[in-house]
A and B are shown apart, each in its own frame.
Chain A
Amino acid sequence: MVNKRPCYCYLFPFGLGHSGVHNPLEAGQSPADLQQIGALAVNPLGDRIVDSFFPDGNHRVDFPGFVRVLAHFRPVDEEDPGMRDPKQPEPLNSRTNKLRFAFQLYDLDRDGKISRQEMLQVLRLMVGVQVTEEQLESIADRTVQEADEDGDGAVSFLEFTKSLEKMNIEQKMSIRVLK
């Protein structure tokens, strides 16, 4: 697994954040360092994406952690899933793990469910002030209703996966690194 992964060493953004650290690979990155990336700051979901690098409320991410997050976006290898050793843990860039990454962007409190309130908050991030509260609420209600199957008023990970089963996740959530 390790030698198949392309080397992301040059990606670690140690040019940003003038912290003056000489070996940035040791000290790690903080949320503020990542937020300094200009084009990320104009992404409406920029804060959610930065958050995804710091699971469990940590305040720094080291290089292996950074690579683990980026590894979700590796294009899927075209190998027969039946050939894979079932005892080995699923690779980070599998369909399930990509979906789980997207799920976590919605699930603000990390409780495994997207409630109507969380859906509303993420929607508000994406549209800013352009949409009224009523419109947004009706959209959130509709979306949760459509996806919710067990009637608990929230979208669990399984329901999320089911509603996106036809989606070509492998292509849409992959970034190809040029050789």
Chain B
Amino acid sequence: MFLLLPFDSLIVNLLGISLTVLFTLLLVFIIVPAIFGVSFGIRKLYMKTLLKIFAWATLRMERGAKEKNHQLYKPYTNGIIAKDPTSLEEEIKEIRRSGSSKALDNTPEFELSDIFYFCRKGMETIMDDEVTKRFSAEELESWNLLSRTNYNFQYISLRLTVLWGLGVLIRYCFLLPLRIALAFTGISLLVVGTTLVGYLPNGRFKEFLSKHVHLMCYRICVRALTAIITYHDRKNRPRNGGLCVANHTSPIDVIILASDGYYAMVGQVHGGLMGVIQRAMVKACPHVWFERSEVKDRHLVAKRLTEHVQDKSKLPILIFPEGTCINNTSVMMFKKGSFEIGATVYPVAIKYDPQFGDAFWNSSKYGMVTYLLRMMTSWAIVCSVWYLPPMTREKDEDAVQFANRVKSAIARQGGLVDLLWDGGLKREKVKDTFKEEQQKLYSKMIVGNHEDRSRS
């Protein structure tokens, strides 16, 4: 026992020192470039290495599956039933045609067989619901060595399991503490920095400093998540007095956009750590924070946003009109509120690559802390950001049409499906207007239009 003691403490000391040195070096290597906006390209190299390993892993699994003669992939990405994309009118006409031998003229009438159309459509939606699919994480086609994305990849050899185990070790024991340390540094610098800047008198120097403090801290947070972002068309970046509109996948979207530009944030005042950060940020430059009670009052919200936008010295507002997090395969309906203000809209499309880590926040499944932990134990967050050219509302367009136009542009650029549905559907009941449309279409078939009726 006595012989072990000095030996023990020596090893422990060496370990402690080397770990500290390692950590400090890494922090310096990562934080200093973040401050100056310089990149060494380490993350891109990391990404390439990971891709090679994933490709190897997939090959091994395919080989294993072939040996056992089973199917490896579940081909249900786009729905599990065969659907015909025909309209209500066409389908009902077809049903009637197949049922009666008499020649079909266009006189409006009712047939008992019409019910089959609604019946089948209803059953189809129960079997394969288009909306709910958008609220579960996207399924991958090859495995990325994270057990959380392993849905149906069963044929894993010993080598692969060892590799996976190594991956777990690296992610949880090396990357996670590093990332937490970086995040902590980033957030505390933000709070301290903005508070200090807040003491300066208003003027150009204060603006300059506040912009750079914000930027620096966001860049550190980006490295805390190992986010590898590719920005396209940076010449279209939002300017003062504008509104920046983007599709929403997770709270990380804010960090991704704000690390490449200067924005004013909009949001509800929270308690706890978020509240502290919010109060500190607003000291350095004007952000728009609403109390809980104010959020319900649409006119108040619109008024404050309009005031901010009209002041050209204030930064562009960053807003997510979908209102909720979507799983990044589609864009859901934009709420029209922000499009009524009359500011220039700068659309931004964000598309994540799910191979390295799924950034989608399923708020009904995970809380914020669990979500952040999951983010920090993924390999990396890889995404592309496209800055689209600015759009303004045209004279004969109303807010809803303008919102839809912007939405289509974002969906097209990001390669996402442009959906009509409201993201709030995952929580609320559907509005009756959609049902009325179906009823209108059907009524035309059985009684005809108003003009026909008055004639007969």
Chain B contacts for A64, CB-based, 8 A: none
Interface of A is mostly: helix
| Pair B123/A73 contact, Cβ less than 8 Å | yes
Contact status A175-B122, CB under 8 Å: no
Q: Count B interface residues, CB 8 Å.
A: 53
Question: Which of B112, B421, B447 is the one whose CB lies under 8 Å from A147?
Answer: B112
Q: How far is the CA of A129 from the CA of B204 in the complex (A)?
A: 62
The answer to whether B430 touches A49 (Cβ under 8 A) is no
> Residue of A at shortest CB range from B131?
A38
Q: Could you say which of B10-18, B75-83, B372-380 contacts chain A?
A: B75-83
CA distance A70 to B112 in the complex (A): 22
Separation of A163 and B425 alpha carbons in the complex (Å): 40
B443 in the interface (beta carbon within 8 A): yes
Indicate if the CB atoms of B442 and A160 lie closer than 8 Å: no
* Size range of the chain A interface in the assembly: 35 or more
Judge whether A41 and B122 touch: CB under 8 Å: no
Q: Find the A residue at minimum CB distance from B133.
A: A15
**Chain A contacts of B129 at CB under 8 A?**
13, 16, 37-40
Pair A44/B430 contact, Cβ less than 8 Å: no
Beyond A102-B115, A105-B119, A127-B446, is A175–B124 a contact (Cβ under 8 Å)? yes
Q: A126-B442, A139-B446, A173-B116 are in contact. Are A37 and B132 (CB under 8 A)?
A: yes
**A167 in contact with B99 (CB, 8 Å):** yes
Residues of A26-66 whose CB lies within 8 A of B: 34-46, 49
A128 at the interface (CB under 8 A from B): yes
Q: Are A42 and B438 in contact (CB under 8 A)?
A: yes
A102 nearest CB across to chain B (Å):
6
- A123 CB contacts on chain B under 8 angstroms: 110
Q: Report if A128-B122 is in contact (Cβ < 8 Å); known contacts: A15-B132, A38-B425.
A: no
Is residue B429 contacting chain A, with contact meaning CB distance below 8 A?
yes
Closest to A142 in B: B110
**Interface status of A178 (Cβ within 8 A of chain B):** yes
The one of A10, A39, A167, A168 in contact with B131, judged by C-beta atoms closer than 8 angstroms, is A39
Contact among A37, A106, A122, A172 for B95, CB-based, below 8 A:
A172
Which residues from chain A contact B121 at a C-beta distance below 8 Å?
43
**B447 with A44: CB separation less than 8 A:** no
Contact, CB under 8 Å: B115 / A106:
yes
- Additional A-B contacts beyond A11-B80, A102-B119, A166-B100 (13; CB < 8 A): A10-B76, A13-B129, A37-B126, A37-B131, A41-B435, A46-B122, A127-B447, A129-B436, A130-B440, A172-B98, A175-B127, A177-B80, A178-B79
Instruction: List chain A positions with a Cβ less than 8 A from chain B.
Output: 10-11, 13, 15-16, 18, 34-46, 49, 70, 73, 101-102, 105-106, 122-123, 126-131, 135, 139, 142-143, 147, 160, 163-164, 166-169, 171-173, 175-178
Task: Pull 25 A–B residue pairs with CB atoms less than 8 Å apart, ordered by A.
Answer: A10-B76, A10-B80, A11-B128, A35-B429, A36-B429, A37-B126, A41-B429, A42-B438, A45-B118, A49-B119, A106-B115, A126-B114, A128-B435, A130-B439, A131-B446, A135-B447, A139-B447, A142-B110, A166-B100, A167-B95, A175-B81, A176-B81, A176-B82, A177-B82, A178-B82
